[in-house]
Amino acid sequence: MYFDLKRACRRTAPVAIAMTITVGSPLLTATSAAAAEVTLPPISVGAGLRTSFSNTDFDSSDEDISDFNIDSVQLHLSGSVTENIKLMFNTEYLQDADGSDDLTVLDAVARFEYSDQFNIWAGRFLPPSDRANLYGGYYANHWGVFRDGVQDGYPSQTGGRDDGVAYWGQFGKIKLSAGLFDVPATIGDSDTLWAARAQIDLWDPEAGYYLNGTYYGEKDLLAFGVAAQGAGGNSAYSADFLLEKKLANAGVVSLESEYAKYDGLGGYAGIESDGYYLLAGYLFPQVIGIGKFQVVGKYGEATYEFAIGPDVDQETTELDLNYIIKTFNARVSLYYIDTGFDPNVGADSKTYGLGLQVQL
């Protein structure tokens, strides 16, 4: 079963619930106000599920591995304490090595949001990093996120999240964020991790701290972003790009890419690495049944720099046929992922799968 808790999701898909409680006393007379109403602030409740069937052929094994997977199950709560003070709380499903189920806290964030230009978040959340980390699996264009050795190898403590505090602000089409966070124990308890990101949207702006891998034609995007993190004298940095355009025939074309360098900080398998990926997608305009079809292709290369022995190169190719029923809230993905290494380290594989995503 493949499951990467890291960056599985990052925001609430809200269903707002407003509650009014009537407080009364039998001792009150009719002329002295028999009851008083207390209105609680609205609370947003959401949930998400990503589940799949996959068949993986490892070159080093004579047998294929077939699995029905619960890739992710999440519960989301958020609400406003005042107009400017908010709380976000998200959980994620885990399956332990012994097969038992468990829940973990993904996000626990106090949000002080005073204007587009001035916002402070404190608690556990996704630090400023690459676009892929800030959209996660639920808001990606493709199914097999974080399998290429490139997308978000930044260090983390819990599910791609770190404990800390960050500022972020939106200045028209420019978005800035920066923060300080605890570092994983592998780096050193005495060091503090700093993280920063800058982004410019030359066409439509993207509001808020989090991002999408696609907007399915709701926005025309030409976005460039850079991010960096550092701790204990080590660093990691990346540059990402997204172009998305709705065409005259109502089809949508998407182009996304990223380059990342993990220079002693983070990296897949905890070693220095660098790499890039290119992604292209097209959403057909015709409605067939209850949704639209989309084709997506992605190619990535990563190089792992081992202290002893030769460097290892990874190549990853992914092809997806998606059926988009209701954007990120209901979609089905038929996918193929081919992963190869040079020199061969016995981990080459080909995976065929069918994934389903549903959100409230």
pTM over 0.75: yes
Looking at residue 269, what is its pLDDT? 65
**Range from 7-16, 141-150, 196-205, 314-323 carrying the lowest mean pLDDT:** 7-16
Identify the sign of the CA torsion 275, 206, 114, 161: negative
Summarize the confidence of residues 45-57 as an average pLDDT. 97
- pLDDT tens by residue, 222-232: 999 999 999 98
Summarize the confidence of residues 171-194 as an average pLDDT. 85
Is pLDDT at 13 greater than 50 in this prediction?
A: no
Looking at residue 14, what is its pLDDT? 46
CA dihedral 205, 208, 209, 211 (to 10 degrees): -60
Is pLDDT at 58 greater than 80 in this prediction?
A: yes
Residue-range domain boundaries for the chain:
15-359
Question: If we measure between CA atoms, which residue out of 304, 305, 336, 334 comes closest to residue 321?
Answer: 334
Looking at residue 75, what is its pLDDT? 96
Q: Among residues of the chain, what percentage have pLDDT more than 70?
A: 85
Which tokens hold the place of 183? Answer: 């570092």
**Range from 25-39, 192-206, 275-289 carrying the lowest mean pLDDT:** 25-39
204 touches 135 (CB < 8 A): no
| Average confidence score pLDDT of the chain | 88
Is pLDDT at 118 greater than 80 in this prediction?
A: yes
Is pLDDT at 19 greater than 90 in this prediction?
A: no
200 touches 224 (CB < 8 A): yes
Summarize the confidence of residues 65-89 as an average pLDDT. 95
Give the CATH architecture of domain 15-359. Answer: Beta Barrel (2.40)
Is pLDDT at 35 greater than 90 in this prediction?
A: no
* Measured CA distances, 194 to 157, 167, 185, 284, 304 (Å): 14, 12, 15, 42, 24
146 touches 191 (CB < 8 A): no
Q: Computed over its alpha carbons, how large is the radius of gyration of the chain?
A: 22
pLDDT band at 111 (very low <50, low <70, confident <90, very high): very high
Distance CA 122, CA 145 (A): 27
Looking at residue 278, what is its pLDDT? 98
Measured in whole angstroms, how far is the alpha carbon of residue 18 from the centre of its chain? Answer: 28
pLDDT band at 23 (very low <50, low <70, confident <90, very high): very low
pLDDT band at 187 (very low <50, low <70, confident <90, very high): low
Is pLDDT at 22 greater than 50 in this prediction?
A: no
* Measured CA distances, 88 to 11, 43, 226 (Å): 8, 10, 26
81 phi and psi angles, rounded to 5 deg: -80, -50
**3-class secondary-structure state, position 132:** helix
Is pLDDT at 8 greater than 80 in this prediction?
A: no
**Range from 101-115, 124-138, 174-188 carrying the lowest mean pLDDT:** 174-188
134 touches 10 (CB < 8 A): yes
Summarize the confidence of residues 195-216 as an average pLDDT. 97
Question: If we measure between CA atoms, which residue out of 264, 271, 258, 273 comes closest to residue 229?
Answer: 264
Looking at residue 126, what is its pLDDT? 95
Looking at residue 213, what is its pLDDT? 97
Residue type, 106: L
268 touches 304 (CB < 8 A): yes
Looking at residue 60, what is its pLDDT? 76
Q: Among residues of the chain, what percentage have pLDDT more than 90?
A: 72
209 touches 196 (CB < 8 A): no
342 touches 35 (CB < 8 A): no
pLDDT band at 186 (very low <50, low <70, confident <90, very high): low
Looking at residue 1, what is its pLDDT? 37
